[in-house]
Amino acid sequence: LSAAAERGDEATVRRLLENGSNIELRDRFNGRTPLSYAARNGQKAVVELLLAHSAEIETKDNWNDQTPLSLAAENGHVGVVQELLDHGADIKTKD
């Protein structure tokens, strides 16, 4: 799921979610979730899909305690930042 989210493969993400994939599964290396990967890479459609399936918006990775919001902002993905804020991401969360 994380790999599909990272590359913006919306169809595969949708199929995996429909078949019960764990939306909160964390990467063993850095603790990032599918939402973190999608946000970091500016995959707005996938971010929207994951949020529609109740992905945890405030999860922090193990690398720098970064949230999906901070990853999107750091990489200049304004549309993703706005989407996350529209869904209640906390702009005051520290990483």
Q: What is the pLDDT of residue 95?
A: 58
Q: What is the pLDDT of residue 13?
A: 99
CATH superfamily of 2-86: Ankyrin repeat-containing domain (1.25.40.20)
Tell me which residue of 48, 61, 64 sits closest to 10, measured CA to CA. Answer: 48
Side chain identity, residue 26: R
In this predicted structure, the answer to whether residue 93 has a pLDDT above a threshold of 80 is: no
Q: What is the pLDDT of residue 63?
A: 85
Place of tokens 């994951």: 50
CA distance 53 to 49: 6
In this predicted structure, the answer to whether residue 24 has a pLDDT above a threshold of 70 is: yes
In contact, 84 and 68? CB cutoff 8 Å:
yes
In contact, 17 and 23? CB cutoff 8 Å:
yes
- pTM summary value: 0.95
